[in-house]
A and B are shown apart, each in its own frame.
Chain A
Amino acid sequence: MRELRYDAVVVGGGAAGMAAALALDSRGKSCAVVDREPSLGGILLQCVHNGFGLIEFDEELTGPEFAERFAARLADSRIATFLGATVLEIAEEGEEKLVFCVSPSLGGLRIRARAVVLAMGCRERNRGNIRIPGTRPAGVYTAGLAQRLVNIEGYVPGKDVVVVGSGDIGLIMARRMSWIGCKVHAAVEILPYPSGLARNIVQCLRDFSIPLYLSHLTTSVYGRDRVEGVEVAPIEDGALQPEKSFRIPCDTVLLSVGLVPENELSKGAGIELNPTTGGPIVDSTLMTSRGGIFACGNVLHVHDLVDYVAEEARRAGLFAADWLEGRRPRKELRVKVGPNLRYVAPGKVDPSRENKLYMRTMIVKNEALFEARLDNAVVKSVKKAHIQPSEMLSLSLGPAELERARPDSMLELSIQ
């Protein structure tokens, strides 16, 4: 088997992988990016809609444009890219990691490196994950699969569509399907509020007069060979009302019911995962439980903007460079996830420098107060005009807030 050696290997060539690799390269580290697809860009390539890059480039780009700008930077760097190459396993041998890949052009390939950055992204939850009863006809797709079929492969997956869930990909696909001449009959969301961005409710549903059924459960899928419809029932005061159920005829069901970090490789490498995020547990440097293996982007936790993914991944790349230079934090504080927050990533901070934390709340609230407490004393508080679970929150904490931290201090973040 062919063997190559780099300072670092980045697994995944989407936004996260490219940003991490560029950061490593900027610090003079040799670096390889491995991706199973024939082009760099990951999921961005099928996201032909706009809304990407407002933070990163200060302008509004489509997914392919965002991807190509990063890919162009890689082409101008010393970064090696292996495309059409699937990573099968990440193993350790002494101080080194071994990344095994296969590709039609290279056959088997073993890459040795002292650092690995995981940037595999996430995958969609599917019908099995949410257990919709009914028959098993053709015509049930995850929204992202339908997006790939329409935007890359040029197929129309159906004509009369119901979107189950109200995640952004489902909303974007409601508009996309409408614009290619299909009829989208409804979006059905189990929660009392939409899980996608407000702008997508406006420009993807309201613009097309597509009804959004909030607090409604999709109770069954009908159809023998092809989907013929779905049955939907309202939820009132937390209880399903089967007697108020109704049918929506359709030939296609698009599922937009959440994303989960894609961590099969991480599990194989013995990396500890956080059951709440589905991503690796990481320290203040985004390093997993395996020394020298870092994680960033949607494989760590599901982000809502690619700009945040790129920002986090750049940090992961710089931290991996620090690791290669033997630099580690002297002291770390554990972050406690306080009331009304679902998770905080990363779960540790380094009090000697600025730390950027991303988190999600569990509640919908106007005029919320976002607080960081060190040993029960408030060290930072931020007012938020509006918070909701679908919109990621961020907070920076540094020496100014954390200077009084003792080795056993407790840092707690909460939303009131």
Chain B
Amino acid sequence: MKEELTCITCPLGCRLVAERGEDGSLAVSGNRCPRGAAYAREELLAPKRVVTATCRIAPASGTRRDEAAPRRVPVKTSAPFPKERVPELLAEIYRLELALPVARGAVLLADALGSGVDLVATRSVE
């Protein structure tokens, strides 16, 4: 069985053809780099996505923040995360309330939902 996919590993968007052999093996063509073949395997067997979102900031006590300062902290998963569990992860992310300052790279949820993937801040916010 032949399946056509578009690789989403990077913005080049290679058009991949994955062919399943009778023995269950998977032959991938159309990829311009090895990541394409890995993507096709993963996409057909266990799809994953990098999740990016933003988190709430805890209300500041005392001093008022500058009006121009960002009101959300952007975050991402440290690696691609199982696609079918993304809604669950988003619910966790939206429950967070971050105390400032937050440094870029700070781990906000370690081993999120037991996936082995961390949620990290992608911007330093003071």
A37 proximity list for chain B (CB < 8 A): 68
The answer to whether A65 and B66 have CB atoms under 8 Å apart is no
B8 within 8 A of A: yes
A207 proximity list for chain B (CB < 8 A): 49, 83
The answer to whether A199 and B53 have CB atoms under 8 Å apart is no
A400 proximity list for chain B (CB < 8 A): none
**Interface residue from B13, B74, B90 paired with A64 (Cβ < 8 Å):** B74
A54 proximity list for chain B (CB < 8 A): 10-11
Say which one of A19-27, A145-153, A240-248, A285-293 lies at the interface with B. Answer: A145-153
Closest to B5 in A: A202
B104 proximity list for chain A (CB < 8 A): 64-65, 68
Give residues of chain B (106-126) contacting chain A, Cβ–Cβ below 8 Å. Answer: 122-124
**Interface residue from B9, B13, B71 paired with A152 (Cβ < 8 Å):** B71
Shortest B48–chain A CB gap in Å is 11
B7 proximity list for chain A (CB < 8 A): 199
Instruction: Knowing A154-B56, A198-B6, A202-B8 are in contact, say whether A179-B90 is a contact too (CB < 8 A).
Output: yes
The answer to whether B122 and A64 have CB atoms under 8 Å apart is yes
Shortest B56–chain A CB gap in Å is 7
Complex CA distance for A62 and B124, rounded to whole angstroms? 13
The answer to whether A199 and B6 have CB atoms under 8 Å apart is yes
B69 within 8 A of A: yes
A326 within 8 A of B: no
Closest to B10 in A: A54
B72 proximity list for chain A (CB < 8 A): 150-154
B59 within 8 A of A: no
A45 within 8 A of B: yes
Q: Mark B7-45, 1 if CB is under 8 A from A, else 0.
A: 111110101000000000000000000000000000000
Complex CA distance for A124 and B71, rounded to whole angstroms? 23
A375 within 8 A of B: no
Complex CA distance for A255 and B84, rounded to whole angstroms? 29
**Interface residue from A65, A198, A304 paired with B15 (Cβ < 8 Å):** A198
- Output the residue of A62, A63, A64 with the most chain B CB within 10 A: A64
A50 proximity list for chain B (CB < 8 A): 50, 52, 76
Instruction: Knowing A62-B76, A64-B104, A201-B6 are in contact, say whether A48-B66 is a contact too (CB < 8 A).
Output: no
Give residues of chain A (373-389) contacting chain B, Cβ–Cβ below 8 Å. Answer: 386
The answer to whether B52 and A49 have CB atoms under 8 Å apart is yes
Complex CA distance for A257 and B124, rounded to whole angstroms? 32
A273 proximity list for chain B (CB < 8 A): none
A38 within 8 A of B: yes
The answer to whether B69 and A38 have CB atoms under 8 Å apart is yes
The answer to whether B71 and A153 have CB atoms under 8 Å apart is yes
Q: Mark A62-78, 1 if CB is under 8 A from B, else 0.
A: 11110110000000000
The answer to whether B123 and A51 have CB atoms under 8 Å apart is no
The answer to whether A62 and B52 have CB atoms under 8 Å apart is yes
A274 within 8 A of B: no
The answer to whether B68 and A84 have CB atoms under 8 Å apart is yes
Complex CA distance for A179 and B88, rounded to whole angstroms? 11
Shortest A48–chain B CB gap in Å is 4
A60 within 8 A of B: yes
The answer to whether A197 and B13 have CB atoms under 8 Å apart is yes
Complex CA distance for A341 and B112, rounded to whole angstroms? 48
Shortest B7–chain A CB gap in Å is 7
Instruction: Knowing A48-B53, A64-B122, A152-B71 are in contact, say whether A197-B76 is a contact too (CB < 8 A).
Output: no
A416 within 8 A of B: no
Closest to A151 in B: B54
**Interface residue from B49, B69, B76 paired with A203 (Cβ < 8 Å):** B49
The answer to whether B52 and A48 have CB atoms under 8 Å apart is yes
Complex CA distance for A68 and B58, rounded to whole angstroms? 23
Q: Mark A43-63, 1 if CB is under 8 A from B, else 0.
A: 001001111001000001111
A68 proximity list for chain B (CB < 8 A): 104, 123-124
A305 within 8 A of B: yes
Closest to B90 in A: A179
B83 proximity list for chain A (CB < 8 A): 207
Complex CA distance for A68 and B7, rounded to whole angstroms? 28
The 5 closest A-B pairs by CB, nearest first: A198-B13, A64-B123, A48-B74, A199-B8, A154-B71
Task: Give chain B's interface residues, CB within 8 Å of chain A.
Answer: 5-11, 13, 15, 49-54, 56, 66, 68-72, 74-76, 83, 86, 90, 104, 122-124
23 examples of A-B residue contacts, CB within 8 angstroms: A38-B69, A45-B70, A48-B122, A50-B76, A51-B10, A54-B10, A60-B10, A62-B122, A68-B104, A68-B123, A151-B72, A152-B72, A153-B71, A179-B86, A180-B53, A197-B11, A198-B13, A199-B8, A199-B9, A202-B8, A203-B8, A304-B11, A305-B11
